[in-house]
Amino acid sequence: MLPNFSFNQINGTPDNLQNYSGKVLLIVNVASKCGFTNQYSELEFLYQAHHSEGLEIMAFPCNQFGGQEPGSPEQIQSFCESNYSVTFPIFEKIEVNGSNTHPFYDFLKNAAPGLLGTTAIKWNFTKFLISKDGLQIKRYASATSPKEIMADIKEIL
């Protein structure tokens, strides 16, 4: 079972990880001006294809990598909807590294370290896949496309 973490949706509405209990979660730190931004299309494809089976995608904008997410919440929401028709939940900007790292990301990074056991997030669009029971957490690099994760998603749905 996952710990109880709180965060705000992009529109400022408070939310809690417990609201996603029993779902397969794909957590992604996102940015609007990144070379991987086109992954929004594949994320939306996965969401449409598997949301009814229990997949939830949670996007957390982050401006820590090259200032690639400078927008306001309204600008981020508008960008995602108008350019990629995103319907999965987007949350307020957070930090994923450093002294102001959101506690949820501290948990994820320690539960699923990266290459050679490093915990730091290296870039935008790093992905974490969490099983329904919260016991299995797997990390994927930014360059791993969402469609490449589909087999792992189907296996745990």
What positions carry a catalytic annotation?
Answer: 34
14-16 and 6-8 as β-strands: parallel, antiparallel, unpaired? antiparallel
In DSSP terms, 61 is beta-bridged to 30
Tokens of 125: 């669009």
In DSSP terms, 140 is beta-bridged to 127
Torsion angles phi and psi, residue 128, rounded to 5: -125, 130
Q: Give the position of tokens 């965060």.
A: 7
Cα–Cα distance for residue pair 82/44, rounded to 1 Å: 13
Cα three-residue angle 94-96-100, rounded to 5 degrees: 70
Amino acid in position 71: G
Nearest to 144 by CA among 118, 123, 125: 125
